[in-house]
Amino acid sequence: MTAWTRFCRNRLALLGLALVLVLTLSALLAPWLAPLDPARQSLIEKRARPGGKYLLGADEFGRDILSRVIYGSRVALLVGVLSMVIALVGGLLLGTLAGFAGGWLDAVLMRGVEILLAFPYLLLALAIVAVLGPGALNTTIAVGIWGVPAVTRIVRGSVLALRETEYVGAARALGSPAAALLRRHILPNIVPGLIVYATLFMANAILLEAALSFLGLGVQPPTASWGLMVSTGRDVLLVAPHVATVPGLAIMLAVLAFNLVGDGLRDALDPRLRGSA
Amino acid sequence: MLTFIVRRLLFAVPVLLGVVFVVMLTIDLLPGDAVTLMLGEHATKDAVAALREHLGLDKSFAVRYVDYVGRLAHGDLGRSIQQNRPVAAELADAWPATLQLTIAALVIAAAVGVAAGVVSAVWPNSLFDALARLGSLFGLSMPIFWTGLVLIVVFSLWLNWLPVGGAGSLSHLVLPAMTLALPSVAMVSRMTRSAVLDVLGEDYVRTARAKGVGEWWVLGKHALRNAFIPILTLLGLQSGQLMGGAVLTETVFAWPGLGRLMVKAIFARDYILLQGAVLVFALAFVVVNLLVDLSYGLLDPRVSRQG
């Protein structure tokens, strides 16, 4: 049974995949899907209840919440994907370096990785943003840096295991450079693990971006970011609860979608881990 | 045992020195200047220079680092830029509230998470198990600040049972503690389920059952005791994540703790206060991990602490 058929038998994973597709389509087709301009203000209709012209209601400035939720998927996915690239590239470089170099460099790098892995991730991201300053780009960098240690550990472990195998030894003896070793022998072996990690990383990246934006340290107004929308809705929570709660629902569904796909992929690619926490 | 504790505490010293170094260095590399920010853009050059000298910013990085660490040894964390109060006093005001919140959340996470996980493992694939697993999926996917707001809408706005925010009484603690605990409840129940399921499949459990040991005794004496090691490890890790989550929870519920102080310090570009807050979090983190390591020995006699 191939990994794909195993994945297709997992109904929850398929549900997650469907949600991810909806999310991607909404991000790609936002200008056509959104019923109204997400920046259009209408102060006489501020905090309009859901229904009628504003399907999901209007916010404090009378902006259409549905349109802003649709545009918000762009921010969430873009920050998620770009930070994933940072995490993968950084982790591949450091992991290969630690694995091939060994010795004290390996020891120092892995000690640092262990400390960073155990450190509360929101505090880490907060510290990075505190230093870089708020904004979408800096949020992406902060989220990406947070992902580097885990990728480093996956890559290093695999390099260490494969370094000792005979075919890698043979390739080295023939004078194959480290970059070629990495591409031909090491990478193919860690791709399944990295795919699973990257999917689950997307879920956490969306959560982290939302949290930073909620605190006012992430994406800045007037960009439609889900976390930012919850934050502005918080001021009118007791008079118009829908302004804060509707965008939060979008965050939850997006995170749930990537978690379901990630869990499904892990079970499909590595049946030995099935059902483990 | 004692030497082990002393060694671990000594190991914390380089970690904390490293934290101070990294925090100070990154702040030093910042493009923004705290002094210009404090005095405004139209301040005279003399005033800026005088304040820089007063804060010690005219000295080199190395001198300031040694200086800070030297004063740290005497418990002096400097004065906050914004409030001009000793940082140590500001932190002392804030940390009990955060400790109260995280301990309450940890207790909820341990109690609810372990209970739900054990029931799930004893009756796998039952209705309860399905609901608990679905619930934990949602628990892990809900942004904590949003959970807090939804709880406020339900319990404060609609039911009018609990206060919206602030601190002072037990009723103020309920919603923030529940909010902060939720993702950890989900993690702990998942982990407990799989750990107990693993142990229930072991030979010694079958032997115990075969010799007629009661099912509750099997569960309590054999299964739970052995499953506790991974659960405890997870709880230690979770208490770290709880500190991070406390930043969001405190912001949502206006809880006067370290997390809110830290966010305020970031907004005010009060780096001296920020440095102190990061240091306290790092220290708490080291202590929690030490406690977890120590408790292994108490729970599992196979783990010995020689030297």
Model pLDDT, residue B39: 67
Calculate mean pLDDT across residues B252-270: 85
Collapsed DSSP state (helix, strand, coil) of residue A179:
helix
With contacts defined as CB-CB under 8 Å, which chain B residues touch A245?
A: 146, 149-150, 153
Q: Which of A263, A120, A195 is nearest to B133 (CA)?
A: A263
Residue B21 has pLDDT above 90, yes or no: no
* Contact criterion met (CB below 8 Å) for A60 and A236: yes
* Contact criterion met (CB below 8 Å) for A65 and A248: no
Query: Considering only A114-118, A160-164, B61-65, B302-306, which range has the smallest mean pLDDT?
Result: B302-306
A36–B contact, CB cutoff 8 A:
no
Q: What is the pLDDT of residues A148-163, one digit of tens each?
A: 988 898 888 888 887 7
- CB-based contact B247 A215, cutoff 8 Å: yes
For residue B306, what pLDDT band results from cuts at 50, 70 and 90?
very low
A interface test, pick of B17, B149, B250 with most A CB neighbours within 10 Å: B149
Q: What is the pLDDT of residues B116-144, one digit of tens each?
A: 998 898 888 888 888 988 888 888 899 99
Collapsed DSSP state (helix, strand, coil) of residue B125:
coil
The pTM is what?
A: 0.83
Tell me the Ramachandran region of residue A57: left when phi exceeds 0, alpha when psi lies from -120 to 50, beta otherwise.
left
B66 burial class (0-12, 13-18, 19+ CB within 10 angstroms)? Answer: exposed
**Sign, CA torsion A134/A115/A259/A243:** negative
Q: How far apart (Å, rounded) are the C-alpha atoms in residues A126 and A237?
A: 25
Rounded to a whole number, what is the distance in Å from the CA of B192 to chain A's nearest CA? 9
Rounded to a whole number, what is the distance in Å from the CA of A210 to chain B's nearest CA? 8
Of the segments A30-39, A62-71, B145-154, which one has the largest average pLDDT value?
B145-154
Average pLDDT along chain B = 81
Collapsed DSSP state (helix, strand, coil) of residue B157:
helix
A237–B contact, CB cutoff 8 A:
yes
* Contact criterion met (CB below 8 Å) for A124 and A204: no
- CB-based contact A238 B248, cutoff 8 Å: no
- CB-based contact B251 A275, cutoff 8 Å: no
**Sign, CA torsion B116/B117/B118/B124:** positive
Residue A170 has pLDDT above 90, yes or no: no
Structure tokens that stand for B284 in this block: 């708490």
Q: DSSP per residue over A50-105, as a string? A: SBTTBTT-B-TTS-BHHHHHHHHHHHHHHHHHHHHHHHHHHHHHHHHHHHHH-HHH
For residue A87, what pLDDT band results from cuts at 50, 70 and 90?
very high
Collapsed DSSP state (helix, strand, coil) of residue B86:
strand
State the count of interchain CB pairs (< 8 A) between A and B: 118
Q: Which of B145, B194, B262 sits opposite A211 (nearest CB)?
A: B145
Q: What is the pLDDT of residues A22-66, one digit of tens each?
A: 999 988 887 887 777 777 777 777 776 777 776 777 777 768 778
Give strand pairing partners of B189. none
Rounded to a whole number, what is the distance in Å from the CA of B297 to chain A's nearest CA? 21
Angle in degrees, 0-180, between the axes of helices B87-122 and B170-200, rounded to the nearest 10: 40
With contacts defined as CB-CB under 8 Å, which chain A residues touch B285?
A: 118-120
Vertex A182: Cα angle to A151 and A272 (nearest 5) = 55
With contacts defined as CB-CB under 8 Å, which chain A residues touch B15?
A: 115
Amino acid at A259: N
Structure tokens that stand for B96 in this block: 């009990």
Model pLDDT, residue B27: 67
Q: How far apart (Å, rounded) are the C-alpha atoms in residues B99 and B130?
A: 34
Rounded to a whole number, what is the distance in Å from the CA of B144 to chain A's nearest CA? 8
For residue B37, what pLDDT band results from cuts at 50, 70 and 90?
low
Q: How far apart (Å, rounded) are the C-alpha atoms in residues B43 and B50?
A: 11
Structure tokens that stand for B175 in this block: 């919603």
Q: How far apart (Å, rounded) are the C-alpha atoms in residues A82 and A213?
A: 17
Structure tokens that stand for B269 in this block: 């570009």
With contacts defined as CB-CB under 8 Å, which chain B residues touch A244?
A: 146, 149
Q: How far apart (Å, rounded) are the C-alpha atoms in residues B152 and B175?
A: 8
**Higher-confidence residue: A90 or A167?**
A90
B interface test, pick of A19, A126, A208 with most B CB neighbours within 10 Å: A126
Residue A277 has pLDDT above 60, yes or no: no
Model pLDDT, residue A111: 80
A54–B contact, CB cutoff 8 A:
no
For residue B112, what pLDDT band results from cuts at 50, 70 and 90?
very high
End-to-end alpha carbon distance in chain A: 23
Q: What is the pLDDT of residues A182-240, one digit of tens each?
A: 777 777 878 888 888 899 899 999 999 999 999 888 888 888 888 888 888 888 877 77
User: CA-based diameter of chain B, in Å?
Assistant: 87
Calculate mean pLDDT across residues B294-301: 72
Q: What is the pLDDT of residues B60-99, one digit of tens each?
A: 778 878 878 888 777 777 777 777 788 888 888 888 899 9
